[in-house]
Amino acid sequence: METELLHTAADKQLYLRFFDVVWNEQARQSLPDGLLAVKQSLRGIHITPVIYITNQALTYTRPAETDSLAAKVNRLLSRLTSEQGIQYQNVQIDCDWSVSTKTTYFAFLRAFKRYSGKKLEATIRLHQIKYPERTGVPPVDKGLLMFYNMGKISADLNAPNSIYNEKDATAYTAAIPYYQLPLDVALPVFSWAIQIREGKIQQLYAKLGMADLSNPANFRPVSAHVFKALKSFYLKGLYIKNGDLFKFEGMDAESLEQAARQVSKYLAPMENRHIIYYEISSTSLLPLYAKDIKEISAHF
């Protein structure tokens, strides 16, 4: 299904994470982690490389090291793309920077753009949209508004979907037209299951889907989206205790279209806006088809 969506609905445009930049305590420096391993041909696909930088890596990077870090990140990306024969014009940097790290992060972005010579994009989270005077606006060519993860992850079985719900979104939408960057938009097509034990959240699992939770040999439905474990067992390497509750949160075509309608009303005019669906993978993809994607994207 991922291949079908990529070729028929995404115009062969793919944002692909190449590696993370994380703080290595033992080495006392920021190092790459989780390098991309390509297992199939990317021929004919228009790739935008994505690099994720942790806020911790920025916290421990001294101002004098920022330029060097940017140069190293650019060299690694150039090597990885060259090995795959990938030509690219844009790079996306994904980082949930904070007030305390914005100076370091923005300096990194300026240096990276200078070394790469590419157009630069940065992910923008909703709290950064709402409080730009506090968090700053990154020095990039455009931003990617991540229109999800807007609610509080809660053990309350009746709490609204924390990935997206219209009410929580309204706390941020009014600020969108005034943000000082052109904005692409990322919409969620992922899901997760919240494990609850004795009224407390234990863990969040992206690898558990409705098919797992609907198995009557292991779970009993409490409501449409809540399931109770019937025994203690392991599932996909995860320990589940008898009586654990799992609250499933995800998106379907209807809720995705609602999100698209809501956010599209507040976006400033922009030509060739990209609508990114996060994330299209075999483990997290919800039952969406090319026609759904096309209809939802038409709102923009």
Tokens found for residue 251: 């998106």
Mind listing the pLDDT tens digit for each residue in 48-105? 999 999 999 999 998 899 999 999 999 999 999 999 889 999 999 999 999 999 999 9
* Sign of the C-alpha dihedral computed for residues 141, 177, 296 and 171 taken in this order: positive
pLDDT digits over 5-60, tens only? 555 555 668 899 999 999 999 999 999 999 998 777 777 789 999 999 999 999 99
Domains of the chain: 2-190+251-297 (3.20.20.80), 192-249 (no CATH)
pLDDT, tens digit (0-9, with 9 covering 90-100), for 110-124: 999 999 999 999 999
Position 1 scores a pLDDT of 47
> What does pTM read for this prediction?
0.89
Q: pLDDT: is 249 or 282 the higher one?
A: 249
Confirm if 132 and 179 have CB atoms less than 8 A apart: yes
- The pLDDT tens digits for 117-145 are 999 999 999 999 999 999 999 999 999 99
> By the 8 A CB rule, do 123 and 50 touch?
no
Identify the pLDDT of residue 79: 96
Looking at the chain, the whole-number percentage of residues with pLDDT higher than 90 is 74
Q: In what order do the strands lie in the sheet with 119-124?
A: 29-33, 13-24, 46-53, 90-94, 119-124, 142-146, 183-188, 275-278
Whole-Å CA distances, 40 to 37, 201, 237, 285: 9, 38, 27, 19
Q: Which two tokens stand for residue 156?
A: 């309350």
Q: 206 or 72: whose pLDDT is higher? A: 72
CA angle 227-228-232, nearest 5°?
A: 135
Cα 18 from Cα 32, distance rounded (Å): 10
Structure tokens at 275: 């609508």
CA pair distance 224, 24, nearest whole angstrom: 42
